[in-house]
């Protein structure tokens, strides 16, 4: 996929620039190299930082109710990022509408669903493995807009789906039906919001994740109010986990918004295959969580799937189509 991103960048350049002198060629090479570095750093952020948030959420839930923690987290993260961008203008009404829809799907259903699943007893490692279904749903929804996966991506998705079948044999999910259902809703909401975001009118740059987190935070707080959630004391450990989750929201979600605007959905959502490795490892190391043999089989298949999906070659026709919607 790295070569395809450079090709997409080049395809957006003016035709005359492609025939220009060495100076113009050097400028294009520099821009492509910048894109490559930015994409690499963004992927690293969502792989590592988001992989650790599953454990942080479980620790935070020892002192916070689920939707109250999620709502306050994104309200602080979104508000702080918006203040940092002060002076760059205010999003237009149509942009707020798009940000509200994406925030409701990615953060309301997506993150809220994971939070509720862990609240219902799903371990952090299993929650991360459940969210590995996101690329499957993303490919389905992307196909509705004409962006079907390549053959190699289909192979990777098929292997990942076999991992999900193994995951269903894990006793931890069978013991929490409501938590398992919440993970399915979470994955569907996140995937549809990720694909739809490329067709909606959104604020530009870092203002997009800021507005989305604000809108998602308000929605999650509304759900919290309907449920009657309250704080009943706040130990230090959950408070520190909450502070880390706010940091992860600003950095990770901004990186994800950048990826959605620059790469194919299959690569942007490849974090769902990598996060379980980190989440399972941290859960075992710090919380004593353990996977059954079926869980480890699911983990192995999911990791193999990302290698095929994330680095599949994109046909030129697909690159041109992405240039129209990016």
pLDDT at 161: 77
Percent of the chain scored above 70 by pLDDT? 81
* Main-chain dihedrals φ then ψ at residue 235, nearest 5 degrees: -65, 165
310 or 158: which carries more pLDDT confidence? 158
pLDDT at 32: 62
For the ranges 21-30, 31-40, 177-186, the one whose mean pLDDT is highest: 177-186
Maximal CA-CA distance, the chain: 68
pLDDT (tens digit per residue) in 250-294:
898 889 888 888 887 777 877 777 788 888 888 888 887 777 787
Rounded to an integer, the average pLDDT of 45-65 is 93
Angle between helices 93-103 and 177-196 (to 10 degrees): 150
Distance CA 247, CA 197 (A): 23
Domain ranges of the chain: 2-325
Rounded to an integer, the average pLDDT of 78-106 is 90
Instruction: Note the pTM of the prediction, 2 decimals.
Output: 0.75
Q: How many residues comprise the chain?
A: 326
48 or 133: which carries more pLDDT confidence? 48
Given a cut of 70, is residue 92 above it in pLDDT?
Answer: yes
Distance CA 181, CA 117 (A): 8
How much is the mean pLDDT over the chain? 79
Alpha helices of 12-119 — where are they, by DSSP H? 15-18, 22-60, 66-84, 93-103, 112-119
What is the pLDDT confidence band of residue 58, given thresholds at 50, 70 and 90?
very high
What is the pLDDT confidence band of residue 170, given thresholds at 50, 70 and 90?
low
Q: How far is CA 154 from CA 228, 255, 266, in A?
A: 44, 25, 10
């Amino acid at each position: 996929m790295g070569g395809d991103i450079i090709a997409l960048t080049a395809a957006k350049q003016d035709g005359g620039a492609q025939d220009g002198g060495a100076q113009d060629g050097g400028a294009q090479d520099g821009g492509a190299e910048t894109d490559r570095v930015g994409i690499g750093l963004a992927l690293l952020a969502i792989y590592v930082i988001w992989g650790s948030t599953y454990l942080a959420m479980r620790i935070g839930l020892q002192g916070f109710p689920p939707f109250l923690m999620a709502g306050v987290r994104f309200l602080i993260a979104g508000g702080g990022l918006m203040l940092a961008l002060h002076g760059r203008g205010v999003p237009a009404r149509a942009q707020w509408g798009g940000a509200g829809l994406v925030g409701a799907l990615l953060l309301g259903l997506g993150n809220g669903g994971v939070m509720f699943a862990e609240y219902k007893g799903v371990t952090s490692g299993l929650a991360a493995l459940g969210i590995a279904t996101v690329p499957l749903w993303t490919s389905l929804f992307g196909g509705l807009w004409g962006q079907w996966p390549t053959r190699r991506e289909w192979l990777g998705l098929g292997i990942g789906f076999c991992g999900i079948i193994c995951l269903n044999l894990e006793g931890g999910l069978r013991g929490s039906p409501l938590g398992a259902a919440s993970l399915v809703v979470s994955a569907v909401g996140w995937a549809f919001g990720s694909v739809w975001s490329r067709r909606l009118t959104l604020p530009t740059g870092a203002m997009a994740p800021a507005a989305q987190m604000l809108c998602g935070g308000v929605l999650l707080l509304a759900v919290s109010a309907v449920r009657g959630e309250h704080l009943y004391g706040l130990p230090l450990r959950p408070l520190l986990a909450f502070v880390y989750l706010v940091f992860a929201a600003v950095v990770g979600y901004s990186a994800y918004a950048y990826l959605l605007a620059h790469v194919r959905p299959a690569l942007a959502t490849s974090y769902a295959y990598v996060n379980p490795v980190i989440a399972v490892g941290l859960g075992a190391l710090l919380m004593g969580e353990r996977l059954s043999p079926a869980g480890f089989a699911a983990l192995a298949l999911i990791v193999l799937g990302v290698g095929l999906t994330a680095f599949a070659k994109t046909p030129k026709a697909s690159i041109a189509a992405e240039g129209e919607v990016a």
